[in-house]
């Protein structure tokens, strides 16, 4: 079967236009998705370059050949840069410009030989594709979409490698022109197929990234970046199961900012938000790596302390109270005195309590701290078996 090259060039052009439209739409909708803009640029470059190559053969043969080849080669380099940007790595431009300039210079040096130019053109496309595939196959960057893109790039590399090898044989006189054209079109088909599929792989990567971002938004608090109540409850359930297996308990702190409504009324809600962010920053710096701080309401926070006794949790609560009282947030050249109240409760496998009961006892302890003057903490009193949790011990309230 003999394939017409003009038809294949039209297929390449239409294929590139289709991919350009897809990436243009994604770039327009998801403006923060930087990699999409690079993959859009790569499609535009290969579309324009492929269009120019269709005009080879006339009086301006070399002009169209050099310009078209340069754009396509640089477009392949931009494909690699897009992969780098997807994983938030920089660089790639200097190499891309150098490779394109080297390829064009070499093609100019052998300008009288179309066969030699084909060797340079095919080889120059192989280099960025190989580098992109090696980059994506790294264990830290592996995903279904990345593996689809890598396989497609491998197909394109094989096709372009065959193209370079066949033209090299023609230069050596080992292959006739007729023999070359019997298989050359199939080599071109591999790059058409590869380009479609590796862009599909990039789309899968983009979908995975967007889904992960949506999941992150659903699980985190927008103001502080902390986990939200949903994430906290999921983590609490996981920690409860782990604690049951290990036989070691955990503690929970429930806290909020004192007189938060008065802060909003006196200074404005933006100042209140600033105070919330101020506490979140202080608490994150104080807590251990295994601890979890979550914002569960306007000025309400929960802290999960794995492998922590009630006494150890009390010390942490005391430190947080003192830390907040001594660190006065500044808002528009004004100081806003902010304190916190904390309720402390412990869960252990022997207690027989549910997670909800532990949170309830911590909540009661928090209100006890409030009743005893705020700016302190209270320890939850264990409830008798089968009864509701009792109030916090009043003597446990500590003033900063």
- List the CATH number of the domain containing 386: 3.30.70.270
Both 238 and 380 in one domain: the answer is yes
Both 48 and 175 in one domain: the answer is yes
Annotate the chain with three-state secondary structure. Answer: CCCCHHHHHHHHHHHHHHHHHHHHHHHHHCCCCHHHHHHHHHHHHHHHHHHHHCCCCCCCHHHHHHHHHHHHHHHHHHHHHHHHHHCCCCCCHHHHHHHHHHHHHHHHHCCCCHHHHHHHHHHHHHHHHHHHHHHHCCHHHCCHHHHHHHHHHHHHHHHHHHHHHHHHHHHCCCCCHHHHHHHHHHHHHHHHHHHHHHHHHHHHHHHHHHHHHHHHHHHECCCCCCECHHHHHHHHHHHHHHHHHHCCCEEEEEEEECCHHHHHHHHCHHHHHHHHHHHHHHHHHHCCCCCEEEECCCCEEEEEEECCCHHHHHHHHHHHHHHHHHCCCEECCEECCCCEEEEEEEECCCCCCCHHHHHHHHHHHHHHHHHCCCCEEEECCCCCCCCCCCCCCHHHCCCC
Does the pLDDT at position 337 exceed 70? yes
157-166, 181-190, 239-248: lowest mean pLDDT where? Answer: 181-190
Instruction: Return the pLDDT at 260.
Output: 93
**Domains contained in the chain, number:** 2
Query: pLDDT > 90: what percent of the chain?
Result: 68
In-domain check, residue 196: yes
Instruction: Return the pLDDT at 122.
Output: 94
For all residues of the chain together, what is the average pLDDT? 89
Most confident of 101-110, 174-183, 327-336: 101-110
- List the CATH number of the domain containing 155: 1.20.1070
Confidence of residue 53 (pLDDT cuts 50, 70, 90): confident
Does the pLDDT at position 386 exceed 80? no
Instruction: Return the pLDDT at 4.
Output: 63
- Kindly report whether the global pTM for this prediction surpasses the value 0.85: no
Q: Containing domain of residue 178, as a range?
A: 5-219
Both 117 and 15 in one domain: the answer is yes
């Amino acid at each position: 079967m003999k394939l017409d090259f003009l038809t294949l060039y039209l297929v390449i052009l239409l294929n590139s236009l289709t991919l350009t439209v897809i990436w243009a739409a994604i770039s327009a909708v998801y403006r923060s998705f930087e990699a999409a803009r690079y993959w859009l640029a790569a499609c535009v470059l290969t579309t324009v370059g492929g269009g120019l190559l269709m005009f080879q053969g006339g009086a301006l043969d070399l002009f169209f050949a050099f310009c078209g080849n340069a754009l396509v080669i640089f477009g392949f380099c931009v494909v690699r840069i897009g992969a780098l940007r997807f994983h938030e790595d920089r660089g790639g431009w200097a190499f891309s410009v150098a490779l394109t300039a080297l390829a064009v210079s070499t093609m100019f040096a052998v300008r009288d030989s179309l066969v030699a130019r084909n060797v340079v053109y095919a080889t120059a496309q192989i280099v960025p594709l190989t580098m992109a595939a090696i980059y994506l196959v790294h264990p830290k960057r592996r995903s279904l979409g990345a593996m689809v893109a890598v396989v497609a790039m491998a197909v394109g590399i094989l096709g372009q490698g065959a193209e370079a090898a066949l033209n090299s044989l023609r230069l050596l006189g080992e292959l006739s022109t007729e023999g070359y054209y019997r298989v050359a079109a199939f080599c071109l088909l591999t790059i058409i197929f590869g380009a479609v599929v590796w862009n599909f792989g990039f789309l899968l990567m983009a979908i995975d990234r967007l889904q992960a971002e949506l999941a992150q938004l659903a699980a985190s608090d927008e103001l502080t970046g902390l986990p939200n109540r949903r994430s906290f409850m999921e983590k609490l359930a996981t920690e409860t199961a782990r604690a049951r297996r290990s036989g070691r308990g955990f503690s929970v702190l429930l806290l909020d900012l004192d007189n938060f409504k008065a802060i909003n009324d006196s200074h404005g809600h933006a100042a209140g938000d600033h105070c919330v962010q101020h506490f979140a920053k202080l608490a994150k710096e104080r807590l251990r790596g295994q601890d979890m701080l979550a914002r569960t309401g306007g000025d309400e926070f929960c802290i999960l302390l794995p492998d922590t006794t009630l006494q150890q949790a009390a010390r942490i609560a005391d430190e947080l109270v003192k830390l907040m009282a001594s660190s006065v947030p500044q808002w528009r050249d004004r100081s806003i005195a902010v304190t916190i109240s904390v309720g402390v409760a412990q869960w252990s496998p022997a207690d027989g309590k549910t997670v909800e009961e532990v949170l309830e006892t911590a909540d009661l302890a928090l209100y006890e701290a409030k009743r005893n003057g705020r700016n302190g903490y209270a320890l939850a009193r264990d409830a008798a078996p089968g009864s509701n949790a009792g109030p916090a011990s009043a003597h446990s309230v500590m003033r900063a």
